[in-house]
Amino acid sequence: MKRYRVQALLESPLTIKRSRQSNRSQGAAGIAGTVLRGGLAQLYLQQHGKADAGFRQLFGEEGHCRFGPLDPAPQVNPRSALSCKRRPGFDPSTDHGVVDGLWYRLGQEWLLTPGGTTLLERQSTLPWTHCQGPRKSAGRCGQPLQPLGSRFRVSRKDAWGCKTPEEERSLNAHVGIDRVTQTAAQAIFYTIDAFKPTAQEQPFCGWIEVDEETLPLLKDLLHQSRPLREVMAQPQPSGPTTEGQVFLGHARTRGYGQVRLILGNAIDRGPDRNSWLAWNHECLDFLRAAPFSQTELDAEQDFFFSLMFPTGAILVDRWLRATLDPHEMLPWLPPMGEWGAPGPVQSFGAGQLRFYTAVTEHELVRGWNAAHGLPKGDDWATTRGAVYAYHFRGPTDDRDQLMNQLETLQTQGIGLRRNEGYGTVVVSDDFHRQFARPAVKPESSEVTP
C-alpha cells in the first residue's frame, strides 16, 4: 500500500469530545483516524444506500485502506522531548529551546548494566536535567527540565526552525430550553469546545494508506461529495489531488464538523537504512563523549535503534490484556524489564539484542459505533509519541537481518486497529539526534530575566 498525503480545511467549527461524559467540555487535540474512517463510511452510505462490496473494501478489516489521524501539525514530538519549566517550547527568542532525553536515559541505563560504573548524579550542569539557557544576570537558567507539553511541531531545516502549531479554539456555553414554557430549563447547562475554522496556510495534516485497487473508490467517494454543480461540470476525478466534503465529530446537526478533505500525492516513506546507521553512529559518539565516556563501544558490532509510535499502538499479550511491551506482539524483540528497566538479553542470530529504556504510558482509546448506536469497547494504547530504545551487539550479517525485520515493522505497523491509524512505527526518529544536545545560542541578545 502507498501512503497519500491528506489535508483537512475546517469550513465550520469542529468539536470532538475527549470523553463520553457530557459534563466534560475539553475536546480532543486532533482528529483521530477512527473519526475520519467513520465520517467517510457515513458518506459512502449516504451516496450508495447500503454496505456493498466497495464499502467492505474501503472500510473492512482486510487491510485495503488505513486511515491515519489528522493533526494540527505534520510531526509528532516523542515523549522523550524535554523543555525548560519556566520557558517551555521551541521559541528561539528565549534561547532555552528543547532537548531530547532518550540518549541521556540510554547512557544512564548503560552505566547501570553489569561492568558499568555508577549512575550519574542529577547535577545542574547537565543539559538533560536542568535548562542551560542564559539568564539576564549571569550564568545559565538552571531550572529543571520537564516533558514538553505540546504533542506536535512544525519542522524546518534546523532545530531552531521548529515551532509549536497555533490552535484556535472556541468554548461556547449553551442553556437548555424548556419545551413547554420556552424559557431556560433548570439544570441544563453545557459547553462545547471546538476548533475554529482553519486558515488555508495551516490545515490539519494526515495520511491515508490505500492499495492501487481501492484508490479509485476513495477518489470517487470524495469527488461525488462535492457540490452538484461541480460534479456535473467534472463527472470523474482528475489531476494529482482530489477534494471532497465530509462531516466529522459531534454536534453535526448544529452546523459543526464541515470539513474539506484534500487527498494529495503519494508520500515516499520507505525505510532508510543509511539514516538508521547514521543515527547509530551519532548515538555511539554521544555515549563515547563526556559524561558517559563509554569508549569500548564499537561501530562494527554495536547497533542502537529506537521505535517511536507517532499514532500510538494498541498492544496486547496472548491473553488479550493491554500491555506496554512490544515484545508481546513481536517475539523477536527482547522483553522490557520490570518497571521499564533494562530487560534480559535475547539471542538474535549469533548476536544479542536487549531492551534498555522507554518513555511511554497508557492512554484510553474510546469510540462510538454509529451503525449500532452503541459505544465501542474501550482499549488501552501506548500514548502517541511513545519511544523505546534497544541495543544489538553481533556480526554485520545478523545486523542486516535485524534491519530486515525493522523494515517490515515500519511498513506493516504493530498492534490492533491498524486500519484506524494505530500502530504506525518510526525506526530511529531523526528528532533524537537533532535535539540530542540543546541548541543554545549564547551569542543571542535575547535573554530571560
Q: Could you count the other beta carbons within 10 Å of the beta carbon of residue 163?
A: 16
Instruction: Please say if the pLDDT value at position 370 is more than 90.
Output: no
CA 201 from centroid of its chain's CA atoms: 21
| Domain range enclosing 318 | 273-434
- Whether 277 and 409 map to the same domain: the answer is yes
Q: Identify the band that residue 282 occupies on the pLDDT scale cut at 50, 70 and 90.
A: very high
The mean pLDDT value for 93-103 works out to 80
Name the H helices within 138-293: 215-224, 228-233, 273-288
Q: Which residues, in sequence order, are bridge partners of residue 205?
A: 7, 71
- Tell me the average pLDDT across 193-197: 85
110 vs 7, residue with greater confidence: 7
Question: What string of H, E and C letters represents the secondary structure of 397-436?
Answer: HHHHHHHHHHHHHHHHCCCECHHHCCCCCEECCHHHHHCC
Rg of the chain over all Cα atoms, to the nearest angstrom: 24
- Please report the pLDDT score of residue 137 as a whole number: 56
pLDDT per position as a tens digit, 218-274: 999 998 888 756 665 666 776 778 899 999 988 888 888 999 999 999 988 778 899
Question: Same domain, yes or no, for 296 and 415?
Answer: yes
Q: Are residues 222 and 335 in the same domain?
A: no
* Percentage of residues of the chain with pLDDT beyond 90: 47
- Judge contact between 427 and 91, C-beta under 8 A: no
The pLDDT value given to residue 118: 47
Q: Which three cell numbers stand for residue 368?
A: 462510538
Q: Quick one: 289 and 430 in the same domain?
A: yes
Residue 441, pLDDT > 80, answer no
Q: Is the pLDDT of residue 127 over 80?
A: no
Q: What is the pLDDT of residue 377?
A: 80
Residue 129 lies in a domain: no
Please state, in angstroms and rounded to a whole number, the distance separating the CA atoms of residues 51 and 369. 15
Find, among 152, 100, 148, 151, the residue nearest to 127 by Cα: 100
Of 76-90, 180-194, 213-227, give the lowest mean pLDDT range.
180-194
Domain end call among 224, 247, 267: 267
How confident is the model over 13-22, as a mean pLDDT? 76
| Bridge partner list, 135 | 448
> Residue 343: CB partners within 8 Å, gap ≥ 6?
327, 334, 335, 336, 337, 354, 355
284 and 221 inside one domain: no
Residues 385, 306 within the same domain = yes
Distances (CA, A) of 317 to 241, 306, 321, 325, 448: 41, 21, 5, 9, 49
Residue at 428 is within a domain: yes
pLDDT, residue 222, reads: 92
Residue 213 within any structural domain of the chain: yes
Same domain, 326 and 286: yes
Helix (H, G, I), strand (E, B) or coil at 231: helix
Residues 320 and 393 grouped into a single domain: yes
pLDDT at 448: 37
Residues 102, 121: Cα–Cα separation, whole Å: 17
Question: Predicted confidence band at 169 (pLDDT cuts at 50, 70, 90)?
Answer: confident
Question: Residues 376-386: what's their mean pLDDT?
Answer: 91
213 and 324 within one domain: no
Q: Can you state the angle between helices 396-412 and 273-288, rounded to 10 degrees?
A: 120
The pLDDT of residue 427 is 96
Residue of 21, 40, 28, 151 whose CA lies nearest to 90: 151
Answer yes or no: is pLDDT of 125 > 60: no
The number of domains in the chain is 2
pTM score, two decimals?
0.88
Per residue in 334-347, pLDDT (tens digit) is: 999 988 788 999 99
Q: Which range is most confident: 77-86, 162-171, 326-335? A: 326-335
> Which of the two residues, 143 and 53, has the higher pLDDT score?
53
Tell me: pLDDT of 424 over 90: yes
CA separation, residue 101 to residues 81, 116, 280 (Å): 6, 20, 16
340 found inside a domain: yes
- Kindly report whether the peptide bond that precedes residue 310 is cis, defined as omega within 30 degrees of 0: no
In this structure, the answer to whether residues 325 and 367 fall within a common structural domain is yes
pLDDT for residue 161: 54
Which tops the pLDDT comparison, 344 or 95?
344
| Residue 149, all three cell numbers | 507539553
Return the higher-pLDDT residue of 58 and 441: 58
Per cent of the chain over pLDDT 70 is 83
* Residue 205 and residue 70 share a domain: yes
- pLDDT of 60 above 60: yes
Q: What is the mean pLDDT of the chain?
A: 84
Query: Hey, is 139 helix, strand or coil?
Result: coil
**Is a pLDDT exceeding 80 seen at residue 26?**
no
- The winner for highest mean pLDDT among 126-140, 171-185, 240-254, 413-427 is 413-427
In a shared domain, residues 250 and 214: yes
CATH code for the domain of 286: 2.60.40.4350
pLDDT band at 367 (very low <50, low <70, confident <90, very high): confident
Provide the grid cell at 48.
450508495
Transcribe 318-381 into DSSP letters.
Answer: TT--B-S-GGGT-TTSPPP-GGG-----EEETTEEEEEEEEE--EEEE--EETTTTEEPPPEEE
3-class state of residue 252 by DSSP: helix
Q: 7 in a domain, yes or no?
A: yes
Last residue of a domain, one of 234, 252, 267: 267
Residue 179 lies in a domain: no
135 domain residue, yes or no: no
Question: What's residue 1's pLDDT?
Answer: 86
Instruction: Kindly state whether residue 399 falls inside one of the protein's structural domains.
Output: yes
Average pLDDT on 30-34 reads 90
Residue 444 has pLDDT above 50, yes or no: no
pLDDT score of 25 more than 80: no
Q: What is the pLDDT of residue 201?
A: 61
Identify the pLDDT of residue 308. 97
Task: Please give the residue that has the higher pLDDT: either 133 or 385.
Answer: 385
State which of 267, 294, 323 marks the end of a domain.
267
| pLDDT (0 to 100) of residue 328 | 96
